[in-house]
Amino acid sequence: MHANYRRQNVSVMGVCVEVPEKLLRLSKELNLSFPLVSDRAATLSKKFGFYDGKAGRAARAAVAVSDGKVLYSTRVNTTRMPTKLLPWVETLKRSA
């Protein structure tokens, strides 16, 4: 699946507020082919609207980046992240 993103010149990453050690374990458990970024201060989560101030927590999110620009970001179930983003990225690239 990751090769499909490379062909589109897109990098995908997961963004979570968990500590890096937990993200490393999660990545290995789920055999993920994309990096998980620890957003401990919730900076990215707040910027992209994934932070719930009342609850004091952030949802897991996927971010698609190309040429240093964020193309797309969404809340996701970590295990379905690559599948959910690829159709959108392909549509975006075709319309460019």
Helix (H, G, I), strand (E, B) or coil at 54: coil
Cβ 62 vs Cβ 76: under 8 Å: yes
**Which domains are seen in the chain, by residue range?**
2-86 (3.40.30.10)
- pLDDT tens, residue by residue, 47-93: 888 888 888 888 888 788 888 888 777 777 655 555 555 565 555 44
Reported pTM: 0.67
**Residues 27-51 pLDDT 10s:** 888 777 778 889 999 898 888 888 8
Percent of the chain with pLDDT over 90: 7
Are the C-beta atoms of 71 and 65 separated by less than 8 Å?
A: yes
